[in-house]
Amino acid sequence: MSMNNFIRNRRDFDNLLLNMDRIFVRPCYINAYIKFSHELNEYLFCKYPEFYAGLQLYQSKEEKSRFTVFTAYYEVPNIYKEIEKICEDIDEIYKDVWRNNIKRECIFSFRDNIRIL
């Protein structure tokens, strides 16, 4: 990797704001949740391209029905205003698709913290 690519990638990361959620699914829904996450990611890319940078989904090695989701947003003008709408949209999608079949808890939200670096 050249130094220019390293600097570019570092700047790309500096431009991101992060949320982290823990997801607990019933074992029978593991594969469906993984597929849902791919579809949700594509939906958010299409609907919010100026704000949404993507997600990373991690599955626990010890407890296969436990996931951690990191969601990244671009630090651009109006993100703090728009993030409310985006999160409401995501919440509604989760409710419509999963009802009470999964448990979703916010571990970290950039909205509730002050970024230092």
Q: Quote the tokens at residue 89.
A: 């949209």
Contacts 24+ apart (CB under 8 A), 56-62: 59/30, 59/34
Closest CA to 32 of 106, 100, 97: 97
Could you please state the CATH topology (level 3) that the domain comprising 16-110 is classified under.
Alpha-Beta Plaits (3.30.70)
pLDDT along the chain (117 residues), means of 10: 51 86 97 98 97 97 98 95 96 96 96 89
pLDDT of residue 37: 98
pLDDT value at residue 13: 77
The C-alpha R_g of the chain, in whole angstroms, comes to 15
> What pairs with residue 20 in β-bridges?
70, 108
